[in-house]
Amino acid sequence: MTLLRSFWLWLVAFAVVLAIAVAVNPSAPSNSTRIAHLESLVKCPACEDLSVAESNATSAIAVRHEITQDVGSGMSDNKILTTIEAQYGPQILLSPSTSGLGALLWVVPIAALVVLIAALLRLARRRRA
Amino acid sequence: MTLTWLGRAFLYVAFAGAVGGMLTQVRAVFTKKKAPALLFALWSLLGVLGAVGVMQFALITHNFSLAYVSANNATFTPLLYSITGMWSALEGSLLLWSLLLALVTIGVLWYYRSDASDAVVQWASVVLFSVAAFFLGLMMFPADPFLHNPAHVLQGAGPNALLQDNPLVAVHPPLLYLGFVGFTVPFAFAIAMLITGRVHDRWPLEQRRWTVLSWGALSLGIILGAWWSYQVLGWGGFWGWDPVENAALLPWLTATAYIHSVIVQDRRGLFRVWNLSLAIATFSLTVLGTFFTRSGVLESVHSFSSSTLGPLLIGLFFFSVAVGVGLLAWRGDALRSPVGVDHPLSREGLFVANNVLFVGFAIVVLLGTVFPLLYEAVNGNQVTVGTPYFATIAAPLSVLLLLMMALAPLVSWRSADAGVLWNRLRVSAWAALLVAGILVALGVRHPAVLIACFLAALAAGAALRTLRGVIVSARRRGHLASAFRAPSTGGMIVHLGIVILAIGIVVSTSYTKRDEITLATGQSTVVDSQFVTFAGFHQVKDSLEEATQLKVVVDGHSLRPAVTTFNGRDTTVGTPAIDSNLLRDVYVTFDAVGGNGETSGAQVQSNLPAGSVVLGVTVEPLLSWLWIGGLVVGLGSGISFLRRRYVEDPQ
Amino acid sequence: MKRVVMLISLGIFVVIIVFSVFLGTRQPVTDATDANSPLLGKIAPSFSGSTLGGGHWSLRAERGDVVVINFWASWCEPCKVEAPNLSTFAYQERNRGVAVIGVVFNDTVAGAKAFDAYYGSLYPSIVDPGGAIANDYGVESPPTTFVLNKKGRVEATLLGAVSVAQLQAVVKRVRE
């Protein structure tokens, strides 16, 4: 068997495994996954950097109940987070909101990536010449 | 009063030794004569040893005439925690730092004693002595560990509760500091190489050895820190992206980049300037990390109390970077290598990608750590940057790094041939696909877990294949033991350790199940297929602590989660109990007690009947793989430290 | 080529200067909260009483000095943490126009005396029968520390355990 053929064989097997993984998949974003996700984004009010999902402080349990209620009453993720932020202050969110200065946290990594890739391409082109 | 003066005297002696060493080396460089660097290093070391001895004596004999001892020790503090008390607070931790720096300095100077008249070694000594003098100077003025306690105190406060809860306090800080201090050596030599202009000979490659040793110590230090947090802090996690944790991670990231790119310099003479920059950056980040930990500008569970050290440490940071950048600007152009990277998918190309990822991640972690300060300065409000941000960035980066671990060992230098690569990759590819297939068949659908395990298997395959090649060629030469010191052996073992770590992290964080259960005495329940029984209360009272322990049986093993009050500071902490095996960890905390039950500081829930308790039970699969992986990483770096120099390699 | 190297180096240099100055000028997170109390800027209510050591102490007698009034109790946990700090500070400033006085908050005399002896306090503390002084100062829970300037006006109210560094910083500010 040539190398190329063995590669295609492997690729086909890979595709099969991938297909099974994707097709036989029960995940629709259920309420409990949403709740768990939201809980990981909100800081426990009495702690340094634990999320309400991880802490058992009374204030953390209170916030967890609030999130569960809000999800049950149909509020969107964004609305829930902004409501909690309004109540406890911006430091309650473990990842700052992307509006305003918080955008810097995402702009800088992406910009750095672009700059680095550009520098590498220039380097590669110069060496080849 | 005598202890104060004795301790301070030793510090002055050590300081004089460091300054003397620095001055004589400078003179030696300019007059081209040899100067007794080793002697001054020994002088300084003896001074530091004396100071450490005085502090340890005071701690062990509970001598409260030193303010430091009365704040961190008590008459009933056990011997172990008296000894470790030296580094449980700011001033003492500087003593540990200075001790390790003095030991490292004398070790390095002794190793290069036959090159003592070489200008590179002389300039490196100047830098080492200067840094030592700086930290000793800190202890002489703003952060005096031997401050006299004017009050006639009969009893000290004892160590911080979380610092006497677990013997890991004896190992984590020394290893961590050894890592930090060790990075002073490549920095010193980088400065020396830039000043003398000699970057072409053996000196750059020598630095690999010291960097690997420091990197290994730092890696072990960080892993042990995570293990300690896990065992003690009570939330079942091991890493919080806390500013002080990030401070230790930053130099680790640049040091990892350095270890890899120096391999390229070794083989093909590339990246000379870049490697020097990385060495300078790693040391500077160590100083910056010290600044975050000791200045108090960022709130953290780990930071020491606020002090005036902040501006001084930032000064050292700025000075190191400024000198480094200045020297690089002066010399850099003359040091550029004539050759380049031939192909982006050659081994050199993949190492470039490796560096981009590690350094890029370091920049992002630094940004996230400093961002709350920036936000407060601009907006006046407080903001938190926590796990969600860092994890979102770390996840794709980790995937790419695992992929590169899978490819780079199999790819050739200077060229990229798809056929050759596939030939080498085939076995690992099928093995990885088999692993993924089995997981899919078992019902695993978490994309993170599937991707991570697939790539981890690929990476393990590449490492194992390389190791097999090393062993085969060693056997062919009739000298099996030489495989131990072959160039890639240590590194591939480290990669295997990282693979184990990665699987442990991904699986445990994806499948952690947290539950709060209420049990009456004698009652049992099943949590995530773990059988948990509450068997009753047990009170402990001794000179050190007062604790209410719960007798809990998990899967046949007896655990004692508790709520403990340490005498002295009278602080109450929860003491978790863990049942650990290769497959899963069960993490149990004493959350509340019912009715009017024994309190000893535990939360009381009066709506529950007396004699019942609320237990926090967290089941985390494969968590022990983190510590096993860490151990393998440490082992691999030790082997890498001992590896033969490339020049001696018979191949 | 040389110019590119110079430019990059200069750029990095500028970034590092800005970064270092920014970090170097950050204030450390203080232990006690500098709170807004209704007494700020007002003349502190005067009081006097018997000290735990058996003597007598009066606020009026301290006019002309900076006065640090610390409300504490033997059952209060943060008070145990700050006790050595207050003593160290009191001793350092004893000849520099700063007087430190403790006021026992909602505690038994025996308990307070035991605490005082245990921590070897280097400053006097007076008892507050009926909590009248605490009431005047609006103290809700210990430790609460007031710093008065030389004219007797309340310049700072600190809630929580104080550190030596923090006291030094606040007193320096108040002295001006």
What is the value of pTM for the model shown? 0.83
One-letter identity of residue B542 = D
Contact B44, B124 (CB under 8 A): no
- Are B386 and A49 inside 8 Å of each other by CB? yes
* Per-residue confidence band for B213, with pLDDT thresholds at 50, 70 and 90: very high
Q: Which stretch of A98-112, B547-561, C7-21 has the lowest confidence by average pLDDT?
A: A98-112
Chain B residues within 8 A of A104 when measuring between CB atoms: 367, 371, 374
Contact B496, B463 (CB under 8 A): yes
Local structure of B152: helix, strand or coil: coil
Chain B residues within 8 A of A127 when measuring between CB atoms: 340-342
The verdict on B621 touching C (C-beta cutoff 8 Å) is: no
The helix (run of H) or strand (run of E) holding residue B173 is helix B172-182
* β-strand pairing of C144-148 with B562-566: unpaired
Distance from CA of C107 to the nearest CA of B (A): 18
The helix (run of H) or strand (run of E) holding residue B590 is strand B584-594
Q: Which of C165, C156, C174, C171 is nearest to C29 (CA)?
A: C165
Query: ipTM of this predicted complex?
Result: 0.82
Residue B528 predicted with pLDDT over 70: yes
The fraction of chain B above a pLDDT of 70, given in percent, is 94
The three state secondary structure string of B220-242 is HHHHHHHHHHHHHHCCCCCCCCC
Quick one: closest CA in B to A55, which residue?
Answer: B235
Could you tell me the end-to-end alpha-carbon distance of chain A, in angstroms, rounded to an integer? 38
Total CB pairs under 8 A between chain A and B: 125
Chain B residues within 8 A of A109 when measuring between CB atoms: 360, 363-364, 367, 393
* Per-residue confidence band for B649, with pLDDT thresholds at 50, 70 and 90: very low
Chain B residues within 8 A of A108 when measuring between CB atoms: 363-364, 367
Total CB pairs under 8 A between chain B and C: 104
The verdict on B295 touching C (C-beta cutoff 8 Å) is: yes
Summary mean pLDDT of chain B: 87
In DSSP notation, B471-492 reads HHHHHHTT-GGGGGGSTTHHHH
Other Cβ atoms closer than 10 A to C9 = 18
Local structure of C65: helix, strand or coil: coil
Residues spanned by the domain of C102: 32-175
Whether residue B173 has a cis bond before it, omega within 30° of 0 = no
Residue B210 predicted with pLDDT over 70: yes
Q: How far apart are CA C49 and CA C128, in angstroms?
A: 7
Q: Which of B149, B306, B333 sits opposite C165 (nearest CB)?
A: B306
Q: Which of A95, A120, A126 to mutate to test the interface with B (most CBs of B within 10 A)?
A: A95
Distance from CA of B151 to the nearest CA of C (A): 5
The verdict on B148 touching C (C-beta cutoff 8 Å) is: no
Local structure of C57: helix, strand or coil: strand
- Are B445 and A50 inside 8 Å of each other by CB? no
- Are B370 and C23 inside 8 Å of each other by CB? yes
Residue C23 domain-assigned?
no
* Measured CA distances, B405 to B65, B268, B270, C118 (Å): 55, 20, 21, 60
Q: Which of B128, B105, B110, B273 is nearest to B193 (CA)?
A: B273
The residues, any chain, with a CB within 8 Å of residue B538's CB and separated by 6 or more, are B548, B549, B550, B551, B560
Distance from CA of B352 to the nearest CA of A (A): 9
Q: How far apart are CA B493 and CA B475, in angstroms?
A: 19
Angle, CA of B509, B515 and B520, to the nearest 5°: 150
Q: How far apart are CA B435 and CA B630, in angstroms?
A: 23
Q: Tokens standing for A49? A: 């950097």
**Confidence (pLDDT) at C53:** 84
The residues, any chain, with a CB within 8 Å of residue B530's CB and separated by 6 or more, are B554, B555, B584, B586, B617, B619
The residue written with tokens 């943060």 in the block is: C78
- Are C84 and B149 inside 8 Å of each other by CB? yes
Instruction: Give Cα A69 distance to the centre of its chain.
Output: 22
Q: Which of B433, B445, B450 sits opposite A13 (nearest CB)?
A: B433
Tens of each residue's pLDDT in chain C, 176 residues: 577 778 888 888 999 999 999 888 876 665 566 666 777 778 899 998 888 888 899 998 888 899 999 999 887 777 887 888 888 888 888 888 899 999 998 888 888 888 888 888 889 999 988 888 988 888 877 888 999 988 888 888 888 888 787 888 788 878 76
**Confidence (pLDDT) at C102:** 93
Residue C74 domain-assigned?
yes
Q: Which of C8, C22, C29 to mutate to test the interface with B (most CBs of B within 10 A)?
A: C29
Other Cβ atoms closer than 10 A to B616 = 21
Q: Tokens standing for C147? A: 């710093």
What are the beta bridge partners of residue B615?
Answer: B517, B590
* Per-residue confidence band for B190, with pLDDT thresholds at 50, 70 and 90: very high
Other Cβ atoms closer than 10 A to B4 = 19
Contact B364, B393 (CB under 8 A): yes
**Confidence (pLDDT) at B650:** 42
* β-strand pairing of C33-35 with C154-159: antiparallel
Residue C54 domain-assigned?
yes
Chain A residues within 8 A of B382 when measuring between CB atoms: 89-91
Distance from CA of B546 to the nearest CA of C (A): 16
The residues, any chain, with a CB within 8 Å of residue B600's CB and separated by 6 or more, are B539, B546, B547, B548, B563, B565, B572
- Are B333 and C1 inside 8 Å of each other by CB? yes
The residues, any chain, with a CB within 8 Å of residue B211's CB and separated by 6 or more, are B182, B183, B185, B186, B255, B258, B259, B262, B279, B282
- Are B516 and A56 inside 8 Å of each other by CB? yes
Residue B307 predicted with pLDDT over 60: no
Residue B403 predicted with pLDDT over 90: yes
**Confidence (pLDDT) at B71:** 81
Residue B550 phi, psi dihedral angles, 5° rounding: -110, 135
The residue count of chain A comes to 129
Distance from CA of B568 to the nearest CA of A (A): 24
Distance from CA of B307 to the nearest CA of C (A): 7
Distance from CA of A101 to the nearest CA of B (A): 7
DSSP B382: -
What are the beta bridge partners of residue B573?
Answer: B564
Q: Tokens standing for C72? A: 């504490």
The verdict on B522 touching C (C-beta cutoff 8 Å) is: no
Domain assignments of chain B as residue spans, ordered by start = 1-159, 394-511+631-648, 513-625
Crossing angle of helices B243-268 and B203-233, in 10° steps, is 150
Contact B204, B272 (CB under 8 A): yes
Query: Within 13 A of B500's CA, how many CA atoms are on the CB side?
Result: 21
Quick one: closest CA in B to C16, which residue?
Answer: B318
Quick one: closest CA in C to B370, which residue?
Answer: C23
- Are A105 and B389 inside 8 Å of each other by CB? yes
Q: Which of A8, A41, A92, A94 to mutate to test the interface with B (most CBs of B within 10 A)?
A: A94
Name which residue leads in pLDDT, A112 or B424. B424
**pLDDT tens for residues B157-184?**
778 777 887 888 899 999 999 999 999 9
Chain C residues within 8 A of B308 when measuring between CB atoms: 165
What are the beta bridge partners of residue B571?
Answer: B566
The three state secondary structure string of B488-530 is CHHHHHHHHHHHHHHHHHHHHHHHCEEEEEEEECCCEEEECCE
DSSP B113: G
Instruction: Give Cα B1 distance to the centre of its chain.
Output: 37
Q: How far apart are CA B589 and CA A110, in angstroms?
A: 41
Instruction: Give Cα A91 distance to the centre of its chain.
Output: 19
**pLDDT tens for residues B429-454?**
999 999 999 998 888 888 889 999 99
DSSP B554: E
Quick one: closest CA in A to B355, which residue?
Answer: A116
B and C touch per CB criterion (3+ pairs under 8 A): yes
- Are C165 and B67 inside 8 Å of each other by CB? no
Contact B603, B592 (CB under 8 A): yes
Residue B201 predicted with pLDDT over 70: yes
Could you tell me the end-to-end alpha-carbon distance of chain C, in angstroms, rounded to an integer? 55
The fraction of chain B above a pLDDT of 90, given in percent, is 44
- How many domains would you assign to chain C? 1
- Are B371 and A104 inside 8 Å of each other by CB? yes
Q: How far apart are CA B534 and CA B612, in angstroms?
A: 9
Residue B235 predicted with pLDDT over 50: yes
Other Cβ atoms closer than 10 A to B113 = 11
Contact B143, B309 (CB under 8 A): yes
**Confidence (pLDDT) at B121:** 92
| CATH code (residue C162) | 3.40.30.10
Which CATH topology does A3-97 take? Helicase, Ruva Protein; domain 3 (1.10.8)
**Confidence (pLDDT) at A123:** 67
Q: Which of B236, B387, B395, B292 is nearest to A49 (CA)?
A: B387
Name which residue leads in pLDDT, A24 or B67. B67
Q: Which stretch of B248-262, B285-299, C102-116 has the lowest confidence by average pLDDT?
A: B285-299
Name which residue leads in pLDDT, C140 or B639. B639
**pLDDT tens for residues B6-31?**
999 999 999 999 999 999 999 998 88
Residue C2 domain-assigned?
no
Distance from CA of B273 to the nearest CA of A (A): 15
One-letter identity of residue B459 = A
Name which residue leads in pLDDT, B609 or C44. C44
Q: Tokens standing for B5? A: 């003066």
The verdict on B16 touching C (C-beta cutoff 8 Å) is: no
Average pLDDT for B130-152: 88
**Confidence (pLDDT) at B465:** 93
Residue B572 phi, psi dihedral angles, 5° rounding: -110, 130
Q: Which of A4, A108, A116 sits opposite B356 (nearest CB)?
A: A116
* β-strand pairing of B612-621 with B584-594: antiparallel
- Are C31 and B317 inside 8 Å of each other by CB? no
- Are B386 and A43 inside 8 Å of each other by CB? yes
Chain B residues within 8 A of A126 when measuring between CB atoms: 340
The fraction of chain A above a pLDDT of 90, given in percent, is 0
Write out the residues of chain C at the interface with chain B, using a CB-CB cutoff of 8 A.
1-2, 5-6, 9-10, 12-13, 16-17, 20, 22-24, 26-31, 77, 80-81, 84, 87-88, 91, 117-122, 163, 165-166
The residue written with tokens 């400033």 in the block is: C93
The residues, any chain, with a CB within 8 Å of residue B92's CB and separated by 6 or more, are B55, B68, B72, B85, B86, B145
Q: How far apart are CA B548 and CA B561, in angstroms?
A: 9
